Chains A and B, each alone.
Chain A
Amino acid sequence: MVCCPLNQIYRRRSKYGPGCHSGRSEESRSEYFSKQCKIPRYARNDSLEGTDHGQRTTDKVMRKILSPAVHLFVTLAWMIVAFWMIFVYAPQEATMGEVQRIFYIHVSSAWTAFLAYFLVFVGSVGYLWEHSPGADLLAQAAGEVGFVFCSVVLVTGPLWAKPVWGIWWTWDARLTLTFVLWLLFVSYLMLRSYVSSPGRAATLAAVVGIIGFVDVPIDYMAIRWWRTQHPQPVIAGGEGSGLDPRMFLTFIVCVGAFHCLFSYLLIQRLRLARARRELSAIRRALAIRPSED
Protein backbone atom coordinates (compact mmCIF):
# COMPACT_ATOMS: atom_id res chain seq x y z
CA MET A 1 0.00 0.00 0.00
CA VAL A 2 1.06 3.56 -0.61
CA CYS A 3 0.14 4.40 2.94
CA CYS A 4 3.61 3.58 4.25
CA PRO A 5 5.33 6.87 3.36
CA LEU A 6 2.52 8.68 5.10
CA ASN A 7 3.22 6.72 8.25
CA GLN A 8 6.83 7.70 7.99
CA ILE A 9 5.80 11.31 7.75
CA TYR A 10 3.69 10.93 10.82
CA ARG A 11 6.52 9.28 12.65
CA ARG A 12 8.94 11.94 11.56
CA ARG A 13 6.51 14.55 12.71
CA SER A 14 6.43 13.00 16.16
CA LYS A 15 10.18 13.37 16.29
CA TYR A 16 9.71 17.08 16.75
CA GLY A 17 9.37 16.77 20.43
CA PRO A 18 9.13 19.51 22.97
CA GLY A 19 12.77 20.24 22.18
CA CYS A 20 12.26 21.55 18.64
CA HIS A 21 13.52 25.03 17.86
CA SER A 22 10.50 26.74 16.50
CA GLY A 23 8.94 27.08 19.88
CA ARG A 24 5.58 25.69 18.77
CA SER A 25 4.19 23.00 21.01
CA GLU A 26 3.83 19.48 19.60
CA GLU A 27 0.07 19.70 19.73
CA SER A 28 -0.25 22.93 17.82
CA ARG A 29 2.20 21.69 15.24
CA SER A 30 0.25 18.51 14.64
CA GLU A 31 -2.97 20.50 14.47
CA TYR A 32 -1.35 22.80 11.92
CA PHE A 33 -0.16 19.78 10.03
CA SER A 34 -3.50 18.05 9.89
CA LYS A 35 -5.26 21.30 8.92
CA GLN A 36 -2.86 22.12 6.12
CA CYS A 37 -2.70 18.69 4.62
CA LYS A 38 -6.07 17.17 4.07
CA ILE A 39 -5.18 13.55 3.72
CA PRO A 40 -7.93 11.52 2.06
CA ARG A 41 -9.59 9.05 4.39
CA TYR A 42 -8.47 6.04 2.39
CA ALA A 43 -4.88 7.24 2.56
CA ARG A 44 -4.86 7.13 6.32
CA ASN A 45 -3.88 3.87 7.81
CA ASP A 46 -6.64 3.64 10.39
CA SER A 47 -8.93 1.32 8.46
CA LEU A 48 -7.13 -1.82 9.60
CA GLU A 49 -6.64 -0.74 13.16
CA GLY A 50 -8.96 -2.15 15.73
CA THR A 51 -9.96 -5.20 13.72
CA ASP A 52 -9.47 -8.59 15.28
CA HIS A 53 -7.27 -11.28 13.86
CA GLY A 54 -10.06 -13.39 12.30
CA GLN A 55 -11.39 -10.41 10.42
CA ARG A 56 -7.93 -9.69 9.13
CA THR A 57 -7.49 -13.22 7.78
CA THR A 58 -10.82 -13.03 5.96
CA ASP A 59 -9.73 -9.69 4.58
CA LYS A 60 -6.52 -11.25 3.33
CA VAL A 61 -8.34 -14.12 1.63
CA MET A 62 -10.89 -11.79 0.08
CA ARG A 63 -8.16 -9.51 -1.12
CA LYS A 64 -6.39 -12.44 -2.73
CA ILE A 65 -9.53 -13.58 -4.51
CA LEU A 66 -10.27 -10.05 -5.65
CA SER A 67 -6.67 -9.26 -6.44
CA PRO A 68 -5.95 -7.59 -9.79
CA ALA A 69 -3.94 -10.59 -10.95
CA VAL A 70 -6.84 -13.00 -10.42
CA HIS A 71 -9.24 -10.51 -11.99
CA LEU A 72 -6.97 -10.12 -15.00
CA PHE A 73 -6.63 -13.87 -15.38
CA VAL A 74 -10.40 -14.41 -15.22
CA THR A 75 -10.98 -11.59 -17.71
CA LEU A 76 -8.42 -12.92 -20.18
CA ALA A 77 -9.67 -16.49 -19.92
CA TRP A 78 -13.27 -15.39 -20.33
CA MET A 79 -12.41 -13.20 -23.33
CA ILE A 80 -10.56 -16.07 -25.00
CA VAL A 81 -13.54 -18.39 -24.46
CA ALA A 82 -15.89 -15.69 -25.75
CA PHE A 83 -13.84 -15.14 -28.91
CA TRP A 84 -13.56 -18.88 -29.48
CA MET A 85 -17.34 -19.13 -29.23
CA ILE A 86 -17.84 -16.17 -31.56
CA PHE A 87 -15.60 -17.53 -34.31
CA VAL A 88 -15.87 -21.30 -33.89
CA TYR A 89 -18.80 -22.39 -31.76
CA ALA A 90 -21.59 -20.08 -32.96
CA PRO A 91 -23.25 -21.18 -36.20
CA GLN A 92 -23.13 -19.01 -39.29
CA GLU A 93 -26.09 -16.71 -39.75
CA ALA A 94 -28.34 -17.69 -42.67
CA THR A 95 -28.67 -14.39 -44.55
CA MET A 96 -25.86 -12.14 -43.29
CA GLY A 97 -23.10 -14.76 -43.20
CA GLU A 98 -19.83 -14.35 -41.33
CA VAL A 99 -20.18 -10.62 -40.80
CA GLN A 100 -23.01 -11.26 -38.37
CA ARG A 101 -20.42 -12.46 -35.85
CA ILE A 102 -19.54 -8.84 -35.12
CA PHE A 103 -22.96 -8.58 -33.50
CA TYR A 104 -21.69 -10.30 -30.35
CA ILE A 105 -18.96 -7.72 -29.83
CA HIS A 106 -21.11 -4.81 -30.96
CA VAL A 107 -24.07 -5.46 -28.68
CA SER A 108 -21.90 -6.43 -25.68
CA SER A 109 -19.96 -3.18 -25.99
CA ALA A 110 -23.18 -1.20 -26.32
CA TRP A 111 -24.59 -2.69 -23.11
CA THR A 112 -21.32 -1.99 -21.33
CA ALA A 113 -21.29 1.61 -22.57
CA PHE A 114 -24.81 2.19 -21.26
CA LEU A 115 -23.86 0.58 -17.94
CA ALA A 116 -20.85 2.91 -17.80
CA TYR A 117 -23.02 5.96 -18.34
CA PHE A 118 -25.31 4.75 -15.59
CA LEU A 119 -22.26 4.50 -13.30
CA VAL A 120 -21.28 8.05 -14.26
CA PHE A 121 -24.74 9.09 -13.10
CA VAL A 122 -24.49 7.09 -9.86
CA GLY A 123 -21.04 8.54 -9.13
CA SER A 124 -22.24 12.07 -9.93
CA VAL A 125 -25.26 11.84 -7.64
CA GLY A 126 -23.08 10.28 -4.92
CA TYR A 127 -20.56 13.07 -5.21
CA LEU A 128 -23.12 15.87 -5.02
CA TRP A 129 -24.89 14.07 -2.18
CA GLU A 130 -21.98 13.72 0.21
CA HIS A 131 -18.93 15.10 -1.59
CA SER A 132 -17.07 11.81 -1.25
CA PRO A 133 -13.98 11.67 -3.47
CA GLY A 134 -14.64 7.97 -4.10
CA ALA A 135 -17.91 8.73 -5.91
CA ASP A 136 -16.16 11.28 -8.09
CA LEU A 137 -13.42 8.78 -8.93
CA LEU A 138 -16.07 6.24 -9.89
CA ALA A 139 -17.79 8.72 -12.21
CA GLN A 140 -14.51 9.71 -13.81
CA ALA A 141 -13.30 6.14 -14.28
CA ALA A 142 -16.67 5.01 -15.66
CA GLY A 143 -16.66 8.00 -18.03
CA GLU A 144 -13.26 7.14 -19.44
CA VAL A 145 -13.81 3.39 -19.76
CA GLY A 146 -17.35 3.94 -21.09
CA PHE A 147 -15.98 6.25 -23.75
CA VAL A 148 -13.73 3.44 -25.00
CA PHE A 149 -16.60 0.95 -25.19
CA CYS A 150 -18.88 3.49 -26.84
CA SER A 151 -16.18 4.05 -29.46
CA VAL A 152 -16.00 0.30 -30.04
CA VAL A 153 -19.76 0.32 -30.73
CA LEU A 154 -19.38 3.17 -33.22
CA VAL A 155 -16.52 1.39 -35.02
CA THR A 156 -18.03 -2.11 -35.16
CA GLY A 157 -21.46 -0.83 -36.21
CA PRO A 158 -20.42 0.60 -39.59
CA LEU A 159 -18.19 -2.46 -40.23
CA TRP A 160 -21.31 -4.56 -39.97
CA ALA A 161 -23.60 -2.09 -41.76
CA LYS A 162 -21.55 -1.74 -44.95
CA PRO A 163 -21.97 -5.34 -46.17
CA VAL A 164 -25.48 -5.80 -44.76
CA TRP A 165 -27.17 -2.44 -45.43
CA GLY A 166 -24.76 -1.32 -48.17
CA ILE A 167 -23.93 1.90 -46.33
CA TRP A 168 -21.49 2.77 -43.54
CA TRP A 169 -23.80 5.00 -41.62
CA THR A 170 -27.41 6.08 -41.51
CA TRP A 171 -29.15 8.49 -39.16
CA ASP A 172 -31.36 5.79 -37.72
CA ALA A 173 -32.69 6.02 -34.16
CA ARG A 174 -30.26 3.77 -32.34
CA LEU A 175 -27.22 4.89 -34.31
CA THR A 176 -28.03 8.50 -33.61
CA LEU A 177 -28.62 7.76 -29.94
CA THR A 178 -25.29 5.94 -29.64
CA PHE A 179 -23.59 8.85 -31.33
CA VAL A 180 -25.27 11.28 -28.91
CA LEU A 181 -24.13 9.07 -26.01
CA TRP A 182 -20.59 9.18 -27.41
CA LEU A 183 -20.79 12.98 -27.61
CA LEU A 184 -22.03 13.09 -24.01
CA PHE A 185 -19.00 11.02 -22.95
CA VAL A 186 -16.71 13.35 -24.91
CA SER A 187 -18.20 16.52 -23.44
CA TYR A 188 -18.05 15.02 -19.93
CA LEU A 189 -14.37 14.14 -20.29
CA MET A 190 -13.51 17.44 -22.00
CA LEU A 191 -15.11 19.38 -19.18
CA ARG A 192 -13.07 17.46 -16.63
CA SER A 193 -9.85 18.34 -18.39
CA TYR A 194 -10.70 22.02 -18.94
CA VAL A 195 -11.39 22.95 -15.32
CA SER A 196 -8.14 23.61 -13.51
CA SER A 197 -9.24 23.12 -9.89
CA PRO A 198 -9.92 19.42 -9.15
CA GLY A 199 -12.71 20.18 -6.67
CA ARG A 200 -14.56 22.40 -9.13
CA ALA A 201 -14.02 19.89 -11.93
CA ALA A 202 -15.62 17.16 -9.83
CA THR A 203 -18.69 19.25 -8.94
CA LEU A 204 -19.27 20.63 -12.44
CA ALA A 205 -18.69 17.24 -14.04
CA ALA A 206 -21.23 15.74 -11.64
CA VAL A 207 -23.84 18.30 -12.73
CA VAL A 208 -23.11 17.55 -16.40
CA GLY A 209 -23.22 13.80 -15.70
CA ILE A 210 -26.68 14.08 -14.15
CA ILE A 211 -28.12 16.35 -16.86
CA GLY A 212 -26.69 14.08 -19.56
CA PHE A 213 -28.14 10.95 -17.97
CA VAL A 214 -31.62 12.50 -17.68
CA ASP A 215 -31.29 13.56 -21.30
CA VAL A 216 -30.62 10.07 -22.68
CA PRO A 217 -34.20 8.67 -22.41
CA ILE A 218 -35.66 11.91 -23.85
CA ASP A 219 -33.15 11.69 -26.66
CA TYR A 220 -34.19 8.11 -27.24
CA MET A 221 -37.89 9.05 -27.46
CA ALA A 222 -37.26 11.97 -29.78
CA ILE A 223 -34.95 10.07 -32.07
CA ARG A 224 -37.21 7.03 -32.14
CA TRP A 225 -40.18 9.08 -33.33
CA TRP A 226 -37.92 10.71 -35.79
CA ARG A 227 -36.85 7.53 -37.61
CA THR A 228 -36.08 3.86 -37.12
CA GLN A 229 -34.08 1.60 -39.41
CA HIS A 230 -31.93 -0.38 -36.99
CA PRO A 231 -32.83 -4.08 -36.79
CA GLN A 232 -35.51 -4.65 -34.18
CA PRO A 233 -34.39 -6.29 -30.94
CA VAL A 234 -33.68 -9.97 -31.60
CA ILE A 235 -33.75 -10.87 -27.93
CA ALA A 236 -37.17 -10.64 -26.27
CA GLY A 237 -38.38 -8.66 -29.28
CA GLY A 238 -41.68 -9.37 -30.95
CA GLU A 239 -42.83 -12.45 -32.82
CA GLY A 240 -40.35 -13.99 -35.22
CA SER A 241 -37.46 -12.76 -33.14
CA GLY A 242 -35.12 -15.13 -31.35
CA LEU A 243 -31.74 -16.71 -31.66
CA ASP A 244 -30.36 -20.16 -32.25
CA PRO A 245 -29.59 -21.60 -28.76
CA ARG A 246 -25.87 -21.76 -29.60
CA MET A 247 -25.93 -18.14 -30.74
CA PHE A 248 -27.75 -17.19 -27.57
CA LEU A 249 -25.18 -18.95 -25.39
CA THR A 250 -22.34 -17.26 -27.28
CA PHE A 251 -24.04 -13.94 -26.82
CA ILE A 252 -24.48 -14.43 -23.07
CA VAL A 253 -20.85 -15.52 -22.63
CA CYS A 254 -19.72 -12.54 -24.69
CA VAL A 255 -21.78 -10.08 -22.67
CA GLY A 256 -20.32 -11.57 -19.48
CA ALA A 257 -16.77 -11.34 -20.85
CA PHE A 258 -17.21 -7.69 -21.83
CA HIS A 259 -18.64 -6.81 -18.44
CA CYS A 260 -15.73 -8.60 -16.78
CA LEU A 261 -13.29 -6.66 -18.96
CA PHE A 262 -15.17 -3.47 -18.15
CA SER A 263 -14.99 -4.11 -14.41
CA TYR A 264 -11.27 -4.91 -14.67
CA LEU A 265 -10.51 -1.68 -16.55
CA LEU A 266 -12.75 0.30 -14.21
CA ILE A 267 -11.05 -1.03 -11.08
CA GLN A 268 -7.59 -0.48 -12.55
CA ARG A 269 -8.55 3.09 -13.42
CA LEU A 270 -9.86 3.61 -9.88
CA ARG A 271 -6.66 2.23 -8.38
CA LEU A 272 -4.61 4.53 -10.57
CA ALA A 273 -6.66 7.58 -9.60
CA ARG A 274 -6.47 6.63 -5.95
CA ALA A 275 -2.70 6.20 -6.10
CA ARG A 276 -2.41 9.59 -7.80
CA ARG A 277 -4.43 11.27 -5.08
CA GLU A 278 -2.40 9.63 -2.37
CA LEU A 279 0.78 10.69 -4.10
CA SER A 280 -0.33 14.30 -4.30
CA ALA A 281 -1.41 14.21 -0.64
CA ILE A 282 2.04 12.94 0.29
CA ARG A 283 3.69 15.58 -1.89
CA ARG A 284 1.64 18.29 -0.21
CA ALA A 285 2.46 16.88 3.19
CA LEU A 286 6.18 16.88 2.40
CA ALA A 287 6.07 20.37 0.91
CA ILE A 288 4.58 21.92 4.02
CA ARG A 289 6.71 19.94 6.46
CA PRO A 290 8.25 22.44 8.87
CA SER A 291 11.93 22.84 8.12
CA GLU A 292 14.44 21.34 10.51
CA ASP A 293 16.57 24.43 10.98
Chain B
Amino acid sequence: MQSLKIISAIFVKDLRVEWRNRETLGSMCVFGILVVFLFNFAFEPGREESLRLLPGLLWISFAFAGVLCFNRSFAGERENACLEGMAVAPVDPGLIYLGKMLANLLFLGIAEGVIVFAAGLWYNFSFVPSLRWFTLITFLGTVGYVAVGTTFGAIAANTHMREVMLPVLQFPVAVPVLIAGIEASTGALKGDPPSSYAGWIKLEAGFAVIFTVLSYLLFEYVLEE
Protein backbone atom coordinates (compact mmCIF):
# COMPACT_ATOMS: atom_id res chain seq x y z
CA MET B 1 0.00 0.00 0.00
CA GLN B 2 2.82 2.31 0.99
CA SER B 3 4.67 1.47 -2.22
CA LEU B 4 1.60 2.27 -4.32
CA LYS B 5 1.45 5.66 -2.63
CA ILE B 6 5.07 6.36 -3.52
CA ILE B 7 4.61 5.23 -7.11
CA SER B 8 1.49 7.34 -7.52
CA ALA B 9 3.20 10.35 -5.91
CA ILE B 10 5.92 10.31 -8.57
CA PHE B 11 3.42 9.54 -11.32
CA VAL B 12 1.06 12.37 -10.35
CA LYS B 13 3.99 14.75 -9.96
CA ASP B 14 5.13 14.01 -13.52
CA LEU B 15 1.59 14.51 -14.84
CA ARG B 16 1.31 17.80 -12.98
CA VAL B 17 4.64 19.04 -14.36
CA GLU B 18 3.52 18.05 -17.83
CA TRP B 19 0.14 19.72 -17.35
CA ARG B 20 1.86 22.97 -16.36
CA ASN B 21 4.46 23.23 -19.11
CA ARG B 22 2.98 20.94 -21.79
CA GLU B 23 6.40 20.47 -23.37
CA THR B 24 7.01 16.76 -23.58
CA LEU B 25 3.75 15.52 -25.03
CA GLY B 26 3.52 18.33 -27.57
CA SER B 27 7.04 17.82 -28.87
CA MET B 28 6.61 14.03 -28.98
CA CYS B 29 3.40 14.23 -31.02
CA VAL B 30 4.77 16.81 -33.44
CA PHE B 31 8.02 14.90 -33.86
CA GLY B 32 6.25 11.57 -34.42
CA ILE B 33 3.89 13.10 -36.97
CA LEU B 34 6.85 14.71 -38.76
CA VAL B 35 8.50 11.29 -39.15
CA VAL B 36 5.30 9.90 -40.70
CA PHE B 37 5.04 12.99 -42.91
CA LEU B 38 8.64 12.84 -44.17
CA PHE B 39 8.33 9.13 -44.81
CA ASN B 40 5.72 9.96 -47.42
CA PHE B 41 8.35 11.84 -49.47
CA ALA B 42 10.94 9.12 -49.05
CA PHE B 43 8.84 6.27 -50.42
CA GLU B 44 5.66 7.63 -51.98
CA PRO B 45 3.90 4.41 -51.08
CA GLY B 46 0.82 3.19 -52.92
CA ARG B 47 -2.01 1.31 -51.23
CA GLU B 48 -0.31 -2.09 -51.21
CA GLU B 49 3.10 -0.78 -50.27
CA SER B 50 1.81 1.37 -47.43
CA LEU B 51 0.30 -1.71 -45.84
CA ARG B 52 3.70 -3.40 -46.03
CA LEU B 53 5.67 -0.37 -44.81
CA LEU B 54 3.22 1.04 -42.27
CA PRO B 55 4.17 -1.14 -39.23
CA GLY B 56 7.86 -0.32 -39.63
CA LEU B 57 7.08 3.37 -40.11
CA LEU B 58 4.88 3.44 -37.02
CA TRP B 59 7.43 1.71 -34.79
CA ILE B 60 10.24 3.96 -35.98
CA SER B 61 8.23 7.05 -35.14
CA PHE B 62 7.27 5.48 -31.76
CA ALA B 63 10.96 4.85 -31.13
CA PHE B 64 11.99 8.44 -31.91
CA ALA B 65 9.10 9.93 -29.96
CA GLY B 66 10.06 7.71 -27.02
CA VAL B 67 13.64 8.97 -27.01
CA LEU B 68 12.35 12.54 -26.74
CA CYS B 69 10.14 11.50 -23.85
CA PHE B 70 12.91 9.74 -21.87
CA ASN B 71 15.30 12.63 -22.42
CA ARG B 72 12.79 15.13 -21.05
CA SER B 73 11.79 12.83 -18.22
CA PHE B 74 15.09 13.19 -16.38
CA ALA B 75 16.50 16.36 -17.92
CA GLY B 76 13.84 18.29 -16.00
CA GLU B 77 14.85 16.57 -12.78
CA ARG B 78 18.35 17.96 -13.00
CA GLU B 79 17.07 21.48 -12.46
CA ASN B 80 16.94 22.52 -8.80
CA ALA B 81 18.77 19.29 -7.90
CA CYS B 82 15.53 17.25 -7.96
CA LEU B 83 17.54 14.16 -8.92
CA GLU B 84 19.59 14.50 -5.74
CA GLY B 85 16.37 14.94 -3.82
CA MET B 86 15.09 11.67 -5.22
CA ALA B 87 18.38 9.96 -4.44
CA VAL B 88 18.24 10.91 -0.76
CA ALA B 89 14.49 10.33 -0.33
CA PRO B 90 13.98 7.52 2.22
CA VAL B 91 12.11 5.29 -0.22
CA ASP B 92 12.98 2.31 -2.39
CA PRO B 93 14.55 3.78 -5.56
CA GLY B 94 12.83 1.04 -7.54
CA LEU B 95 9.48 2.61 -6.70
CA ILE B 96 10.65 5.96 -8.04
CA TYR B 97 11.58 4.11 -11.21
CA LEU B 98 8.12 2.55 -11.47
CA GLY B 99 6.42 5.92 -11.00
CA LYS B 100 8.59 7.50 -13.67
CA MET B 101 8.08 4.55 -15.97
CA LEU B 102 4.28 4.70 -15.68
CA ALA B 103 4.31 8.42 -16.48
CA ASN B 104 6.52 7.80 -19.52
CA LEU B 105 4.26 4.93 -20.56
CA LEU B 106 1.23 7.20 -20.45
CA PHE B 107 2.95 9.98 -22.42
CA LEU B 108 4.31 7.65 -25.06
CA GLY B 109 0.92 5.88 -25.26
CA ILE B 110 -0.87 9.17 -25.94
CA ALA B 111 1.72 10.17 -28.55
CA GLU B 112 1.37 6.76 -30.21
CA GLY B 113 -2.39 7.26 -30.40
CA VAL B 114 -1.89 10.57 -32.17
CA ILE B 115 0.73 9.12 -34.54
CA VAL B 116 -1.47 6.14 -35.42
CA PHE B 117 -4.42 8.44 -36.04
CA ALA B 118 -2.35 10.67 -38.35
CA ALA B 119 -0.87 7.71 -40.20
CA GLY B 120 -4.32 6.14 -40.68
CA LEU B 121 -5.64 9.39 -42.05
CA TRP B 122 -2.78 10.13 -44.45
CA TYR B 123 -2.34 6.61 -45.76
CA ASN B 124 -6.09 5.90 -45.91
CA PHE B 125 -5.69 2.92 -43.68
CA SER B 126 -8.32 1.71 -41.23
CA PHE B 127 -6.95 0.26 -38.00
CA VAL B 128 -10.44 -0.64 -36.78
CA PRO B 129 -10.64 -4.30 -37.97
CA SER B 130 -7.43 -5.28 -36.18
CA LEU B 131 -7.64 -2.73 -33.39
CA ARG B 132 -7.74 -5.19 -30.48
CA TRP B 133 -4.61 -7.12 -31.41
CA PHE B 134 -2.79 -4.08 -32.67
CA THR B 135 -3.44 -2.32 -29.34
CA LEU B 136 -2.17 -5.30 -27.37
CA ILE B 137 0.98 -5.56 -29.50
CA THR B 138 1.66 -1.84 -29.26
CA PHE B 139 1.01 -1.80 -25.51
CA LEU B 140 3.35 -4.71 -24.72
CA GLY B 141 6.07 -3.38 -27.03
CA THR B 142 5.76 0.07 -25.51
CA VAL B 143 6.04 -1.30 -21.96
CA GLY B 144 9.32 -3.02 -22.86
CA TYR B 145 10.60 0.02 -24.71
CA VAL B 146 9.72 2.36 -21.84
CA ALA B 147 11.19 -0.06 -19.27
CA VAL B 148 14.70 0.27 -20.71
CA GLY B 149 14.16 3.85 -21.89
CA THR B 150 13.39 5.19 -18.41
CA THR B 151 16.58 3.67 -16.99
CA PHE B 152 18.70 4.90 -19.89
CA GLY B 153 17.08 8.34 -19.62
CA ALA B 154 18.22 8.52 -16.01
CA ILE B 155 21.71 7.33 -16.98
CA ALA B 156 21.99 9.74 -19.91
CA ALA B 157 20.94 12.64 -17.66
CA ASN B 158 24.31 12.18 -15.90
CA THR B 159 26.33 12.69 -19.07
CA HIS B 160 27.23 15.92 -20.79
CA MET B 161 26.11 14.60 -24.20
CA ARG B 162 22.62 13.62 -23.14
CA GLU B 163 20.85 13.97 -26.46
CA VAL B 164 23.39 11.76 -28.22
CA MET B 165 23.94 9.30 -25.40
CA LEU B 166 20.32 8.24 -24.96
CA PRO B 167 19.63 6.93 -28.49
CA VAL B 168 23.07 5.30 -28.61
CA LEU B 169 22.23 3.39 -25.41
CA GLN B 170 18.58 2.80 -26.20
CA PHE B 171 18.40 1.56 -29.78
CA PRO B 172 20.79 -1.44 -29.65
CA VAL B 173 19.11 -2.76 -26.51
CA ALA B 174 15.62 -2.12 -27.89
CA VAL B 175 16.30 -4.10 -31.09
CA PRO B 176 14.33 -7.21 -29.99
CA VAL B 177 11.26 -5.23 -29.00
CA LEU B 178 11.30 -3.25 -32.24
CA ILE B 179 11.64 -6.38 -34.37
CA ALA B 180 8.87 -8.13 -32.42
CA GLY B 181 6.61 -5.07 -32.58
CA ILE B 182 7.06 -4.63 -36.31
CA GLU B 183 6.61 -8.32 -37.15
CA ALA B 184 3.56 -8.76 -34.94
CA SER B 185 1.96 -5.51 -36.16
CA THR B 186 2.49 -6.57 -39.76
CA GLY B 187 0.65 -9.81 -39.05
CA ALA B 188 -2.15 -8.08 -37.17
CA LEU B 189 -2.70 -5.35 -39.74
CA LYS B 190 -2.72 -7.85 -42.61
CA GLY B 191 -5.46 -9.72 -40.77
CA ASP B 192 -3.46 -12.94 -40.25
CA PRO B 193 -4.68 -15.33 -37.53
CA PRO B 194 -3.23 -14.36 -34.13
CA SER B 195 -1.53 -17.74 -33.78
CA SER B 196 0.87 -16.79 -36.60
CA TYR B 197 2.34 -13.91 -34.59
CA ALA B 198 1.73 -15.16 -31.04
CA GLY B 199 5.46 -15.90 -30.68
CA TRP B 200 6.33 -12.26 -31.23
CA ILE B 201 3.76 -11.13 -28.67
CA LYS B 202 5.29 -13.54 -26.14
CA LEU B 203 8.74 -12.14 -26.91
CA GLU B 204 7.45 -8.61 -26.31
CA ALA B 205 5.88 -9.68 -23.02
CA GLY B 206 9.07 -11.47 -21.93
CA PHE B 207 11.19 -8.45 -22.81
CA ALA B 208 8.85 -6.16 -20.87
CA VAL B 209 8.90 -8.36 -17.75
CA ILE B 210 12.66 -8.99 -17.78
CA PHE B 211 13.66 -5.38 -18.26
CA THR B 212 11.09 -3.94 -15.86
CA VAL B 213 12.35 -6.25 -13.10
CA LEU B 214 16.01 -5.67 -13.98
CA SER B 215 15.60 -1.89 -14.08
CA TYR B 216 13.64 -1.96 -10.83
CA LEU B 217 16.57 -3.74 -9.19
CA LEU B 218 19.32 -1.63 -10.78
CA PHE B 219 17.71 1.79 -10.42
CA GLU B 220 19.18 2.17 -6.96
CA TYR B 221 22.64 2.40 -8.51
CA VAL B 222 21.51 4.79 -11.23
CA LEU B 223 20.16 7.27 -8.68
CA GLU B 224 22.96 7.13 -6.12
CA GLU B 225 25.28 10.11 -6.12
Contact = CB atoms under 8 A, between A and B. Distances in A.
Contacts of A184: 172-173
A286 interface: no
Interface string A215-235: 100110111011000000000
Nearest to B172: A183
Contacts of A186: 168
* Chain B, interface SS category: helix
Contacts of B179: 222-223, 226
B85 interface: no
B211 interface: yes
B114 interface: no
B176 A221 contact: yes
A223 B175 contact: yes
Interface stretch (A141-149, A201-209, A277-285): A201-209
Interface stretch (B44-52, B101-109, B155-163): B155-163
A194 interface: yes
A275 to B, nearest CB: 26
Contacts of A225: 183, 199-200, 203
Query: Looking at chain B, what size class is its interface with the partner chain?
Result: 20 to 34
B210 interface: yes
A218 B176 contact: yes
A221 B183 CA distance: 14
A128 B214 CA distance: 13
A218 B155 contact: no
B169 A221 contact: no
A225 B180 CA distance: 10
Given A186-B168, A187-B172, A210 B183 contact: no
A211 B211 contact: yes
A183 B214 CA distance: 21
Contacts of A208: 152, 155, 169
B148 interface: yes
Nearest to B160: A194
Contacts of B211: 211, 214
Interface of B: 148, 151-152, 155, 158-161, 165, 168-169, 171-173, 175-176, 179-180, 183, 199-200, 203, 206-207, 210-211, 214-215, 218, 221-222, 224-225
Given A176-B175, A223-B176, 12 more contacts: A183-B172, A184-B173, A187-B168, A190-B161, A190-B165, A191-B169, A206-B221, A212-B172, A215-B173, A218-B210, A222-B175, A225-B203
22 contacts: A128-B218, A184-B172, A186-B168, A190-B161, A194-B159, A196-B160, A203-B222, A206-B221, A207-B221, A207-B222, A208-B155, A208-B169, A211-B148, A215-B172, A215-B173, A218-B176, A218-B206, A218-B210, A219-B176, A221-B203, A222-B176, A226-B183
Considering the complex of A and B, which 4 residue pairs feature the smallest CB-CB distances, nearest first? A222-B176, A194-B159, A183-B172, A187-B168
